[in-house]
């Protein structure tokens, strides 16, 4: 296959731990070829969706801590997306209007015959924090609103809650509000922009000290290991970007139960790769834009997550 990655600039990637780079390496190992394009390289001309893309090859034995792990093998060319065997959308958030426009262009490309993963409309229709509301029986008590009075009532009821913006990533903008929070009003005013921005509130889950687990679903099946992202001492957030420590461990019985309930539904919608965030017994996020943790799981367990993804992509394209 010739696979196009719509991705952030390659020099910005930390190749030694980047899941997209792991995908590329697995695909090349299975005999496939690669091209890359930035989100801004997508365009529509006379109704046809194209990408200004560059063919690349991976450099054998390169130091993945450096910037010489790939090389261009062609000049940039304008290529209609259906000419690629698969298009993988791996642009990291923010999920802003430019991202939304990209999903529309990718959806139009699908109508023209392109095979896009994850499905463009499914990415757009599953905002990563709001998507848990479809699985309310698997989530801790959750409120989505911009009404500060409602949030305060939710806080009064549960005493210990987490509040966060709907468009954050890497743990940004997350606050824990304990029973006696002297900065309650200031925090809510800031997060909601004085009632103009919708946020999420969830009952605090004390099992966060055991880790915020990432369950990877690939082609409707769960990877047999999770990455538990364990917060620093005194920290509420387990995100690796916030200093959390990643520890791979086998799926628990509850993890398997959650995956069995969620995976078939999401796979049927064209979501080839999903990252569920689970704390204790509860799903806290459904990540569909650019799920990670491939490398950490592979290094600690020997299970080749990227090869599982490459094989699932082959099946999906076939």
- Give me the active site residues, please: 129, 164, 214, 229, 237, 277, 285, 287
Residue 199 near residue 164, CB atoms below 8 Å: yes
Kind and range of the H or E element at 278? strand 273-279
Neighbours of 274 (CB within 10 A): 26
Backbone angles phi and psi of 144, in degrees to 5:
-120, 120
Residue 146 near residue 195, CB atoms below 8 Å: yes
Q: How far apart are CA 119 and CA 307, in angstroms?
A: 20
Residues facing residue 286 across a β-bridge: 276
Both tokens assigned to 170: 């890497």
Each residue of 284-304: b (16+ CB within 10 Å) or e?
bbbbbbbbbbbbbbbeebebb
Kind and range of the H or E element at 23? helix 19-29
Q: How far apart are CA 189 and CA 37, in angstroms?
A: 39
Residue 259 near residue 226, CB atoms below 8 Å: no
Residue 225 near residue 243, CB atoms below 8 Å: no
């Amino acid at each position: 296959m010739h696979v196009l990655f719509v991705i952030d600039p390659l020099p910005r990637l930390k190749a030694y731990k980047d899941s997209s780079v792991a995908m590329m390496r697995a695909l090349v190992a299975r005999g496939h070829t690669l091209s890359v394009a930035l989100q801004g390289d997508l365009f529509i001309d006379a109704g046809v969706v194209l990408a200004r893309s560059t063919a690349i090859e991976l450099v054998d034995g390169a130091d993945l801590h450096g910037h010489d792990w790939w090389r261009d093998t062609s000049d940039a060319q304008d290529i209609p997306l259906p000419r690629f065997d698969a298009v993988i959308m791996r642009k990291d958030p923010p999920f802003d209007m430019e991202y939304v426009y990209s999903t529309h262009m990718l959806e139009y490309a699908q109508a023209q015959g392109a095979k896009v993963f994850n499905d463009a409309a499914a990415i757009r229709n599953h905002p990563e924090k709001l998507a848990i509301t479809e699985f309310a029986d698997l989530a801790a008590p959750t409120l989505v609103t911009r009404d500060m009075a409602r949030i305060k009532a939710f806080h009064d009821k549960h005493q210990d809650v987490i509040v966060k913006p709907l468009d954050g990533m890497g743990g940004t903008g997350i606050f824990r509000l304990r029973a006696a929070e002297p900065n309650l009003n200031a925090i809510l005013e800031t997060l909601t922009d004085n009632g103009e921005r919708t946020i999420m509130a969830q009952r605090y889950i004390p099992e966060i000290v055991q880790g915020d687990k990432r369950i990877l679903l690939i082609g409707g099946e769960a990877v047999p290991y999770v990455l538990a992202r364990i917060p620093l001492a005194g920290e509420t957030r387990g995100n690796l970007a916030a200093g959390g420590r990643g520890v791979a461990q086998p799926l628990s019985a509850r993890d398997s139960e959650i995956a069995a309930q969620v995976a078939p539904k999401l796979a049927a919608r064209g979501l080839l790769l999903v990252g569920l965030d689970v704390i204790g017994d509860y799903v806290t996020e459904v990540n569909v834009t650019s799920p990670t943790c491939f490398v950490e799981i592979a290094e600690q367990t020997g299970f080749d997550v990227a090869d599982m993804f490459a094989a699932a992509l082959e099946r999906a394209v076939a």
